[in-house]
Amino acid sequence: MSDLKRTVLVTGASSGIGRAVARQLLEQGYQVIGSSRDISQFTSPQRRFTALELDLSQPASLEAAVRRLQLQFPALDAVVFAAGYGQFGAIEQFSVRQIEQLLQVNFTAQVLLTKALLPRLKRQPHANLIYIGSEAALKGSRNGSIYCASKFALRGFSQALRDECGKSPVRVSLINPGMVDTGFFETLNFAPGKQAGQALQAADVADAVSYILQAGNHCMIDEINLSPASKVIEFKK
């Protein structure tokens, strides 16, 4: 597939992992549609880049957004689901609204987008759905009950979907990064250590996305787990 430049939707392309993925794919010659809740964040216009306003916390808007997108870009044949956020703390500290919102943005929205995208993706010669999970999809940890639940759910969904799509041209992959140095930690009371090797870079995750997109259709890349060389968490005062 490597010679064939494709059309890729990257959710959460305004920051961190999604931005690094969008940048790398543009450099490689792909057509990229990048989403954000606020497309004025995409300040430098790029050839082959289209900004899409999408708020994953609004489930009712997603199906129509996908319909419009697939009409505008009939060649769309890959999606990188990078939008999401973290919220951590003891379960008693979460309001019902906060629980619903975190599960909606990190899990349910990916399901609804997938459901809307799939019929046309199945008619492409080759298609990829690439979800950004987390190390939190592999192991539960203190203060991460809802975040881990959202990522475990995404992992179960992607495994089942891979099986469901096995006889179609759609390939389903999940990337589970450990801590990545991005804006993810801006609103949190912890962050990865600042020494070399204590955090992944967003470009490392973008490399994994490129590897998946360039693999042949015969090749299933189920999951890729990435970790920084040493795991150090620094708590903010």
In the complex, which residues of this chain contact ligand NAP (CB under 6 A)? Answer: 12, 14-18, 36-38, 41, 54-57, 82-86, 105-106, 132, 134, 177, 179-180, 182-184
Cβ closest to ligand NAP, residue 35 vs residue 124: 35
Cβ of residue 191: shortest distance to ligand NAP, in angstroms?
9
**Residue carrying the six token digits 């392309």:** 13
- Characterise 166 by phi-psi region: left (phi > 0), alpha (psi -120 to 50), beta (else): alpha
Cβ of residue 216: shortest distance to ligand NAP, in angstroms?
26
Between CA 173 and CA 179 the distance in angstroms is 19
**Residue carrying the six token digits 């979460």:** 94
Cβ closest to ligand NAP, residue 14 vs residue 198: 14
Cβ closest to ligand NAP, residue 114 vs residue 182: 182
Between CA 201 and CA 114 the distance in angstroms is 27
Cβ of residue 183: shortest distance to ligand NAP, in angstroms?
4
Beta carbons within 8 Å of 57's beta carbon, 6+ residues apart: 101, 104, 105, 109
Cβ of residue 160: shortest distance to ligand NAP, in angstroms?
19
